[in-house]
Amino acid sequence: MDTEQVITRFPPSPTGTLHIGGARTALFNWLFARQHHGKFILRIEDTDKVRSTKENTESIIESLKWLGLDWDEGPYFQSQRTKIYYEMIEKLLSSGKAYYCHCSPEELEKKRIEAIKKGLKPKYDGKCRDLGLGKAPGAVVRLKSPLTGKTIFKDLVKGTISIENEQLDDLILQRSDGSFTYNFAVVVDDSNLGINYVIRGDDHVNNTPRQILIYKALDEPIPQYAHLPMILGRDKAPLSKRHGATSVMAFKDMGFLPHALLNSLARLGWSHGDQEIFTKQELIDLFSLEHVGKSAGIFNMEKLLDLNAKYIREENDSTLADLLLPFLSQLGCKDLPREKVKCAVKTLKARSKTLLEMAQRALFYFQEIDYEQQADEKFLLPDVLYILEDLLLDIKGATSFDQKNLENIFSTLLERHQIKLGTIAQPLRVALTGKTVSPGIFEIMEVMGQEMVVKRLSNAILHIKSKKGP
């Protein structure tokens, strides 16, 4: 690579939220720029006035920030750059590289149908190409494309791609309503912003020869292109909503950590040997377009869940508590003591795959409980009543409530009643949490605190007594 500063860009359209495919494209552009100490530019392609929304723009920006993909310039908005487009149209018209076409839509449709009937490619026949027509109502501006030769470019992922120029149309640059077409606006923006590496999905491969012809007509340097493979679901079909969440913010709302998603995105179409897990700095250091595959990447939700669980286990309790609080708030637990949440996290992080799952499992610490019917019928029975009543007296009389002291209380209780912990463990777990599955008994009792444990035990005892009848 030469000494020219690398400048990449990510140009989302705010006609929707940021999805996995777009996030992967943003990541690869960001990694390439960061590795080469270049610039990463954000541009919002909001020329579709009907479908573009402020909410989607804000969501895209929030998604990129959440993933940690910072940009060096922007966001630029295409809707604010029309002056530049007009200037470039005039440049092409005055140099004879573009022309006004007065053909009506009806006329063009008629020609298209006739071409298809004859088995020909339905492209514009160039009727207005050399007529020297001026601006008029309903007129469009077309590029005067070369009629012979080939347009060839070296794709940094796919290799050399060549297309006969005769297959390319005199494409429209400016529509009859004055708006500008995608291919024209993209070239003008990329050229104006100095973009020299265009890394994007391979659904844009067909646009590239057309865009190169516009670069040549403008007499501007042509960037290097790299087209990334598609992302498929496990059924090998293009990733869509039927495969589950595809929006970045949906993954955030489900309780994924940003680096887990980032790590998974990096592995969609790129590899570094057999390594599966990377720090952010490792991704920057190791990323290369040479190791982006030609075949589609398969998005695997199970792998992402396992990876997220790993990052949750490795995260410190204090950070997890801060991340968990909004999820608990959404579940109705507001204004919680942060220290208690931090203690709860310590008991739950080993088995939680997402923050949402952790929050749901933590509810028994912060809300009144209901007994699961099956657990109630199986474990909250009269034959454990006298043991629970005895335990309640011990708990009320405890002078300290840490795990060590709780273990001593239970050791004495088990010896007194000549029973094993298994006899009382599940009834006690159901009494305290309402469920048969929870973290360790001593762990949860310490987090709950003496007052809550006394209350839950007392409620369970009354509940069992109510089953015995009068």
Query: 297 near 267, Cβ under 8 Å?
Result: yes
Q: Which domains, and CATH codes, for the chain?
A: 7-78+231-301 (3.40.50.620), 81-228 (3.40.50.620), 316-366 (1.10.8), 373-468 (1.10.10.350)
DSSP helix/strand/coil, 10: strand
Stated length of the chain? 470
328 and 336 Cβ atoms separated by less than 8 Å: yes
Enumerate the active-site residues: 241
Task: Provide CB contacts within 8 A for 156, sequence distance 6+.
Answer: 224, 225, 226, 289, 290
Q: What does the pLDDT profile of the chain (470 residues) look like in tens digits?
A: 556 899 999 999 999 999 999 999 999 999 999 999 999 999 999 988 889 999 999 999 999 999 999 999 999 999 999 999 999 999 999 999 999 999 999 999 999 999 898 888 888 999 999 999 999 999 999 999 999 999 999 999 999 999 999 989 899 999 999 999 999 999 999 999 999 999 999 999 999 999 999 999 999 999 999 999 999 888 888 777 666 668 999 999 999 999 999 999 999 999 999 999 999 999 999 999 999 999 998 999 999 999 999 999 999 999 999 999 999 999 999 999 999 999 999 999 999 999 999 999 999 999 999 999 999 999 999 999 999 999 999 999 999 999 899 999 999 999 999 999 999 999 999 999 999 999 999 999 999 999 999 999 999 999 999 986 65
Burial 126-140 (b: 16+ CB within 10 A, else e): bebbeeeeeeeeebb
Q: What is the strand order of the sheet 73-77 is part of?
A: 7-10, 39-44, 73-77
Are 371 and 430 in contact by the 8 Å Cβ rule? The answer is yes
Q: List C-alpha distances in Å: 197 to 77, 224, 460, 461.
A: 20, 5, 67, 70
pTM for the predicted model, two decimal places: 0.91
Can you tell me the distance from the alpha carbon of 96 to that of 261, in angstroms, rounded to the nearest whole number?
Answer: 49
* Residue pair 269/231 in contact by the 8 Å Cβ criterion: yes
